[in-house]
Amino acid sequence: MFAWFRRLNKSTATVRRLRGKDPRDTVQVEVAEFAPDILSFLALAASTELFLYEAATQAVLGAPNLEAKTAMADIAADALHKHQVFAAELEKRGKNPATEMERFVTRVNQFTERITTPDWHQHVLSVWLVGGIFDGFFASLALGLKDSYSKEAIAVLRSESGRTKLEQLLVSEVAADPKLADRLALWGRRLVGDSLLFARDVLQYSDNREFIVDETNPVFTGLTADHMRRMDTLGLTA
């Protein structure tokens, strides 16, 4: 996993895959090129937002004070709202949201198991980082949707409700206990690796182009850069 993640860090902002020896003969690959069909997109987005809602709710229960509980409750409400928006769109299209999401439940559960931790601070970092990565990733995918819902999906995913308050909470927690920094930095590296592996799996449902693993490894440079900026905001090493 980490070897793959290191390759991501060395990629350029836009993927350039050389053909032959001529550096001018390149192919640029964007996340949007791997957009799935609209029903798969809605089901995947609804599934991940439901996961984030569940994770944030769990963090509310273990929060040490009212300020922390409020921050996590706001994040939970935001994720639930996004889930409900995508589920409602599936219903408008005559589909049962639970049935559509069922196709992806195994993979989502596998991801959840990979990042589950009894440490409250690590759990909160998971909610903040994974939420940012997934919302950014699905917003990028939505750019390539062959459907008029694309703009609405992007607007929903780019909503930052509650995220600033959670960021401030994490900053204050690290400041209050500097020993947290190393532990959270290490956990953040694991989170981004597992999150991008999950995102790569999502590309298999592309409705626009053939899924070839070797072509997707460096697609996530922008998401990786966003992750590094988030970690820098907390004073953590990405």
* Contact status, residue 140 vs residue 210, Cβ threshold 8 Å: no
Instruction: Provide the 8-state DSSP code for 14.
Output: S
47-86, pLDDT tens digit by residue?
A: 999 999 999 999 999 899 999 999 999 999 999 999 999 9
Provide mean pLDDT across the span 147-167: 90
130 CB-near residues (< 8 Å, 6+ apart): 52, 55, 115, 191, 195
Question: Mean per-residue pLDDT for 172-193?
Answer: 90
Residues 168, 173, 178, 179: is their CA dihedral positive or negative? negative
Instruction: Give the Cβ contact number of residue 66 at 10 Å.
Output: 9
- Rounded distance between C-alpha atoms, residue 235 and residue 217, angstroms: 28
- Give the other-Cβ count within 10 Å of 209's Cβ: 13
100-116 pLDDT, tens digit per residue, is 999 999 999 999 988 88
pLDDT score, position 220: 73
Q: What is the mean pLDDT of the chain?
A: 84
Distances (CA, A) of 23 to 20, 35, 93: 8, 27, 46
* Look-up of token digits 């409400």: 77
Question: What pLDDT sits at residue 238?
Answer: 58
**Distance of alpha carbon 10 from alpha carbon 215, whole angstroms:** 15
Q: Are 219 and 31 in contact (CB under 8 A)?
A: yes
Q: What is the pTM of this model?
A: 0.83
205-229 per-position pLDDT tens digit: 988 777 777 776 667 777 788 888 8
